[in-house]
């Protein structure tokens, strides 16, 4: 069956902190099809990094587990799902509050969800205690208006071409 999405990718990897960079770089590479600005790409990388780190530290509490990422593109929006089958979150509203952390002793600042929410357009958290957690984030990539450089390029090409109007 034809997907409603224009493009999709799925990743599955072990919950090791080395894989945090792999996840963030892979999602950024996929997102780059939408021609994001460097800043938009940095926002996506930061949000992915926070969600994946949460799976490793809180979901699996540093034990072995599998993290799944699914990314979809539709029009100029990227939808990123990051899921673990770890311990789950009892109180999602509390977990999302700025500065709330269940692990203050690990020097966590409790800002992960706040960062995801500020860098992405939408963040949705679903969780069942004992079964796991899924974070779904959306970001619309704003199409740049035509830049001055692009206009200059086109004008230069016209000048160089042997189009009769230029002779």
Ligand X SMILES: Nc1ncnc2c1ncn2[C@@H]1O[C@H](COP(=O)(O)OP(=O)(O)OP(=O)(O)O)[C@@H](O)[C@H]1O
What residue ranges bind ligand X (CB under 6 A)? 50, 54-55, 58-59, 84, 86-89, 95, 100-103, 108-113, 133
Which token pair is 97?
A: 């509050």
Asked whether position 112 contacts Mg ion by CB under 5 A, the answer is: yes
Asked whether position 54 contacts Mg ion by CB under 5 A, the answer is: yes
Nearest CB to ligand X, comparing residues 109 and 157: 109
Query: Which partner, Mg ion, ligand X, none, binds residue 82 by CB below 5 to 8 Å per kind?
Result: none
- Do residues 45 and 146 lie in contact, with contact meaning Cβ atoms separated by under 8 Å? no
Do β-strands 77-84 and 7-14 pair in parallel, antiparallel, or remain unpaired? Answer: unpaired
Active site residue 54: yes
Asked whether position 49 contacts Mg ion by CB under 5 A, the answer is: no
**Which of the residues 108, 117, 122, 150 is marked catalytic?**
108
> In Å, what is the CA distance from 51 to each residue of 10, 65, 152?
16, 15, 42
Active site residue 108: yes
Phi-psi region of 35 (alpha: psi -120 to 50; beta: other; left: phi over 0): left
125 membership: H or E segment, kind and range:
strand 122-128
Helix (H, G, I), strand (E, B) or coil at 42: helix
Asked whether position 86 contacts Mg ion by CB under 5 A, the answer is: no
Query: Which range, of 6-14, 62-70, 111-119, 128-136, touches Mg ion by CB under 5 A?
Result: 111-119
Least distance in Å: CB of 1 to Mg ion?
Answer: 37
User: Which residues does the annotation mark as catalytic?
Assistant: 50, 54, 108
């Amino acid at each position: 069956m034809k997907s409603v999405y224009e493009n999709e990718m799925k990743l599955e990897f072990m919950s090791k902190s080395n894989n945090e960079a792999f996840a963030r770089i892979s999602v950024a590479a996929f997102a780059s099809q939408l021609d994001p600005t460097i800043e938009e790409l940095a926002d996506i990388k930061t949000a992915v990094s926070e969600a994946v780190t949460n799976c490793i530290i809180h979901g699996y509490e540093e034990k072995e587990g599998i993290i799944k990422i699914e990314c979809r593109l539709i029009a100029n929006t990227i939808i990123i799902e990051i899921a673990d089958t770890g311990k789950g979150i009892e109180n999602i509203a509390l977990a999302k509050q700025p500065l709330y952390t269940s692990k203050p002793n690990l020097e966590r600042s409790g800002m992960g969800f706040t960062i995801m929410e500020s860098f992405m357009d939408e963040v949705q958290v679903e969780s069942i205690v004992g079964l796991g957690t899924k974070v779904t984030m959306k970001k619309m990539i704003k199409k740049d208006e035509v830049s001055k450089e692009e206009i200059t390029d086109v004008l230069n090409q016209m000048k160089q071409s042997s189009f009769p109007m230029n002779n």
